[in-house]
Amino acid sequence: MKTLIFPFCLVFSILAYAQKDDIAIIPEPVSLVKKDGSFNLKDNTVINLIGNDKDAIKAVDYLTASISGATGFKWVVKNSAAGSAINLSILASKDNELGTEGYKLVVSPQSVSISANQAAGLFYGVQTFLQLLPTEIESKKVIKNISWKMPCVEIKDYPRFGWRGLMFDVSRHFFTKAEVKTYIDDMVRYKFNLLHLHLTDDEGWRFEIKSLPRLTTVGAWNVKKVGTFGTFSEPTENEPRDYGGFYTQDDIRELVKYAGDRFVNILPEVDIPGHSMAAIVSYPDLSCTAGSDKYRVISGEKFMIWPEKGHFYGLVDNTLCPANEKVYEFLDKVFTEVAQLFPFGYVHIGGDETARNFWEKSDAVKALMQKENLKDLDEVQSYFEKRVEKIVESKGKKVIGWDEILEGGLAPNAAVMSWRGIKGGIAAAKLGHEVVMSPTTYVYLDYMQSDKATEAPVYASLRLNKTYQFEPVPEGVDAKYIKGGQGNLWTEQVYNIRQAQYMTWPRGFAISESVWSPKEKKDWNGFVKKVEKHFDRLDISKTKYSPAIYDPSFEVKKDSAGVPVVKFVPEIDGLDFYYSFDNSSPDNFYPKYTAPLTVPKDASLMKVISYRGDKPIGRMIIITVADLKNRAGIK
């Protein structure tokens, strides 16, 4: 018998380790203790809701809907004090540590208990519960012959920040109501609670304002163009302007309710005074150049110049005129209806990238500057923002804007969304204003995720490991002013919901962990293991994502002879890279990368693929030698 003890103990320890290693919760909980055993989900399980919080049923409804599709099981839902197999309860005595969104989750072999101070906490506990189940729970179809087991655990969890957001630009390309719901469904799995909808821009006005019907009859439509945004030809007069769309007010109410049922607030953005071409096309007398025959809703053609330094320069006037009283009458109508449609306490007023070259030439703006003693155009825009704040506040809402609203003097009560790095957020916090961090350097989801040879062309890159370094509270800033953070998905080069998903995940995982999990619990290597397990979940749920973590980055320099030398830089450990310069497609029988490569003199293509062990795991990357030379500065 003694000879069996060691093998038995070894097998038991391996199984225990494997089971613990299978726990992959994103975002990482505050505390997680693994216990022995497992809970087996079965048909006709009783789900008991304890407490009389009217919103708690939302968590129960979400739970039953989420587990019915894959299991095919029926559920018995009760509301009693008696214990059942699965218990969701609002705590009778408040746990101050949990706050409004925290929860406790206890899984034993006999039962599951999720408890919270408020219904939102139950909902987030449900998200963790679902992540403990096998990956197949993500299936939309019934999966048979599977044991729906989850490991026994004790979890105590609550968010680091109350503002955990994703911005979805539905102006550059219109996304249907159903597609926005899909985006909401994707984000709540990872405990995001704020959807920032960028509803207006130069490419389209996307929601109905009943008192200003031309905003959607005219401003919501442009010419369909496909390719690289910003390089399209100027639309001709005979090209139909039938591409786009908008949300009716009933659509907005439906989306607000859909999000609210999932404990998500929707932040509406009306981007002003710049980025206003769709509004100006609809009502031309809102600009400082009224009567121009060049006003068109932009279809992706070049219409602005973005210098490396200084202010943006408009080739056509896409700005509301700060010296025009009709503008403020217009905005009063807009924000009256916005406030009625969106219950969230904040309204985003944009304020970014204002092309001021038409203001400089405007006699009306010059007269305004003299009248109001405004010394420069920064102060002109500040004058505009302060008047807009008064309008928004008169509707019972609070203003938030991009960090340009700091220039010339910040409106008295405005919150700032810091996007040009973190400096704007630091400045606003030191002035005692609320801040949401969304810096380009870490959380711009429109940036390329891998080498530009594999990605839709955008002006910058952002790898997952860089996003994971996002820290919402800058050093030296009082954390009480930092409401949280969010990722921003601009959609100039995002044409459909599949690409929107691809650009969001897995970088959205990293953002969720930065705004939910304790700072000290962040661990890149552990995070990567979880990401790969969640790739399996996304595969089953048919959610598109980027596999860029398996792609190397390429650093290209020229040697003393003027020949390009390529260094492969992996994002994660444990991969091998194989390459070719002979135009054929490499596999793991080809040369393996071990040191920087000197590009052969007559080669025209470099092809690279990544392997883990003997299985390909990455994409075939194809880069022309001409491109490599260009990257190395070789002419």
Residues tagged active-site: 201, 275, 353
Q: What is the DSSP string of 441-475?
A: HHHBTTSBSS-TTTS---S-B--HHHHTT--SS-T
Q: What is the DSSP string of 297-319?
A: ---SB--EE--SSS--EESS--S
CA torsion angle 227 232 236 242 (round to 10): 50
Cα–Cα distance for residue pair 199/56, rounded to 1 Å: 31
Q: What is the DSSP string of 576-633?
A: EEEEESSSSPP-TTSPBP-S-EEPPTT--EEEEEEEETTEE-SPPEEEEHHHHHHHTT
Cα–Cα distance for residue pair 315/354, rounded to 1 Å: 12
Provide the 8-state DSSP code for 28. Answer: P
Cα–Cα distance for residue pair 589/265, rounded to 1 Å: 52
Query: CA quadruple 66, 183, 434, 349: dihedral positive or negative?
Result: negative
Q: Which among 59, 22, 26 is positioned nearest to 150, based on CA atoms?
A: 22
SS3 track for 61-124: HHHHHHHHHHHCCCEEEECCCCCCCEEEEECCCCCCCCCCCCEEEEECCCCEEEEECCHHHHHH
Which pair of tokens denotes residue 418?
């810091």
Contact (Cβ atoms closer than 8 angstroms) between residue 339 and residue 267: no
Task: Say if residue 564 is preceded by a cis peptide, omega within 30 of 0.
Answer: no
Contact (Cβ atoms closer than 8 angstroms) between residue 494 and residue 203: no
What's the distance, CA 409 to chain centroid? 29
Cα–Cα distance for residue pair 73/602, rounded to 1 Å: 63
What is the tally of helices (H) and strands (E) in the chain?
18, 28
Query: CA quadruple 421, 424, 428, 431: dihedral positive or negative?
Result: positive
Q: Which among 281, 320, 283 is positioned nearest to 299, based on CA atoms?
A: 281
What's the distance, CA 52 to chain centroid? 34
- Name residues whose C-beta falls within 8 Å of residue 512's C-beta, 6 or more positions apart in sequence: 26, 27, 164, 190, 191, 192
Q: What are phi and psi of 60, to 5 degrees?
A: -65, -45
Query: Residue 563: which H helix or E strand, with range?
Result: none
- Name residues whose C-beta falls within 8 Å of residue 218's C-beta, 6 or more positions apart in sequence: 281, 282, 297
Q: Which among 339, 275, 333, 271 is positioned nearest to 303, based on CA atoms?
A: 275
User: Other C-beta atoms within 10 Å of 301: how many?
Assistant: 17
Contact (Cβ atoms closer than 8 angstroms) between residue 581 and residue 623: no
Q: What is the DSSP string of 204-267?
A: EE-B--TT-THHHHTTTEE----SSTT-BPPPPTTS---EE--B-HHHHHHHHHHHHTTT-EEE
Task: Say if residue 616 is preceded by a cis peptide, omega within 30 of 0.
Answer: no
Query: Residue 514: which H helix or E strand, with range?
Result: helix 507-516
